[in-house]
Each structure stands twice: as structure tokens, then as C-alpha cells.
A and B are shown apart, each in its own frame.
Chain A
Amino acid sequence: MSEVINLQDKIKTELLDISSAINEIVESYKKLHSPLIETKENVPKATEQLDKISEQTEAATHRMLDTAELITQREDEVITGLNKIKQFVQDKEYNSINEQCDELAQKASDNSNDAFVIMDALQFQDITSQQIDHAVVLLEELGLKLHKILTVIGGSEHADGNQPTNSSKKRAFDPHADLFDKKTDQTAIDSMFSKK
């Protein structure tokens, strides 16, 4: 009889241990669930931001290269034009000198305008810089979530001294900053202000 009671006690103790272990697993799962979901969501967001930066940098760079090519082409034409003027002076063709000077002045003016086109295109740097800041913040959040997961999986050894920290740079960015995709275009904004 006493053997049966002993066995019952042993089974009871084992069952309590199993129950306790199951509870711990459930608790760990609960702790892991939220960071895992957030981590899963943040990875594609950060990847998307980085792809956007790459695409928009390339597009803006091409716009600047196209304009720089036009400027250098015009500079070659200016050199040719100046040589022509030199020849016209030698040949005393004063009407042609006049025409050539007008043409060169127009080219200089076009070059000045195109230099401003390049300056405009450089606005991409502010936008991609905000996109990079957004991606950095997402990656920093990812680091914190992974730290939480490691802490739960690996116990206290990961919790001490290894806490990832956010970079010291103060980041102020628009999460929707985009070179091409304006949520509201300037005409619609003008209309909102005209009704003010």
C-alpha cells in the first residue's frame, strides 16, 4: 500500500514539474511572440527603405549627369564659337561677330540655368538622408527586439551589458519622405491655401 502511495506522490511531483515547465514555455512564447512579430514586420520595412534610397539616388544622379553633359557639350560649342569670332575679327566680318556673340551669350545663359537644374536635383540628398534615418531607426528597433528574444531564449547571460543602444545622433525625419511620390501635390496644396 505504501508503495502505491509513494508512486502516486512521485507521479504527482512529476506532473507538477511538467505543468510548471509547460507554463514556463507558454510564458516564454508570450514574451517572444510580440518581438518576433515586430521583427518580422520591421525587416521588410527597412529593406524597402534601403531599396528606395538606392533607386532615388540613381534617378537623381542620372538627372544631374544628363544636365552636366548638356553643359559640357555647350562649353565645347562656346570654344568653337570663340575661335570663329577670332577668325571673323581677322577677316573683319563684323556682322558675323555680332551674331556669334549673341549665340555665345545664349549658351552661357543656358549653362547658368542648367547649373540650377543640377542644384534642384541635389534636393534628393535631403530626402534620401531622411529615408536613411528612417531605415536606421527601424534597424535599431530590430536590434532591441532581437536582444529581447535572445534574453528569453538564452536566459540572463544575454541581458547583462549587451543591451543594444540607439545611436547618439538626433534624428528628425519624415517617414513618408519621397522624391517622386508626393501624397498631396502642389496644386492640391495651393487649392487648400486659396480656400483659407
Chain B
Amino acid sequence: MADLKILAVDDSPTMRRIILNTLKRAGFQDVVEAVDGKDALAKMEVDNFNFVITDWNMPEMDGLTFVTTLRNSDQYKSLPILMVTTRSVKDDILEAMKAGVNNYIVKPFTPDTLKEKIEQILAG
């Protein structure tokens, strides 16, 4: 858990702060922020991350396109990805599953849910 480097992708500055604080409280200290999929991909080119938390609705590149891009690359085929979004329609969740997310949280979430999902994904 200590050496986990997380990339948190969300266009809302409020959500990024909340996610960052929640992660730090849960013991995940190494967290980098990105404002959308495009920014995230740029950050991944210069840094190594072993966990991604991403929103869905974002300008420039949305979360679903971002996840699909990662899953289509050899390097990030098995990178753990958790989607955290307001989208709670069943078809959307199925679409995210199909794109390759490892788990899915609907906002608003509790700190316990976020921690639990990260641990579940890491446990495989």
C-alpha cells in the first residue's frame, strides 16, 4: 500500500481535493492529479503509476475513452482502474465494465467505499 502511486483523474477541482484527502487519510500518500483523460495520458508518459482512479464526464477526453485507450495499449492492459462517477444508469456501468474498468463507484461516495474498492482491486 505504501509504494502505491495513484493517478486521480477528475475535471472537478472539488472532487480532486476530496479524493486526494480521502486517499491520504486511508494511507495512500503518493497521489498525482489530472484534469481529464488527455492530461492523464500526458502525465503517464513521464511518470509510472500503479493505480488509476478516473471520472467519466470530462472535457477533452472523457473517462471511457481514457480507459479504452489504456486497455488497448500493451503497457497498461492490466493496470488497475477504478471509475468514480455520477453515472448510475445500468447501461453506463455495463459499458464501463466492457471498456475494462476493474471496479466502479457512484458519487457521492463514502471514504470507506473508496478504500474498500481500492483494496478489493489490489487483492485481485
Contact = CB atoms under 8 A, between A and B. Distances in A.
Interface of A: 116, 119-127, 129-130, 170-174, 176-179, 182-186, 188-189, 192-193, 196
Interface in B66-80: none
A182 B58 contact: no
B25 A127 contact: no
Given A116-B111, A172-B59, A184 B21 contact: no
A189 B104 contact: yes
A113 to B, nearest CB: 10
Interface residues of B, number: 34
18 contacts: A123-B14, A123-B108, A126-B10, A126-B12, A126-B86, A126-B107, A127-B108, A129-B12, A129-B14, A170-B60, A172-B59, A173-B57, A176-B86, A176-B88, A176-B89, A184-B88, A189-B88, A196-B97
A174 B57 contact: yes
Nearest to A171: B59
Nearest to B85: A174
Contacts of B10: 126
B106 A174 contact: no
Contacts of A172: 11, 57-59, 62
Contacts of B23: none
A124 B88 CA distance: 15
Contact of A122 (B14, B60, B88, B97): B14
Given A176-B89, A196-B97, A120 B108 contact: yes
A46 B90 CA distance: 24
Contacts of B52: none
B59 A170 contact: yes
Contact of A184 (B14, B22, B56, B106): B106
B50 interface: no
Contacts of A185: 88, 106
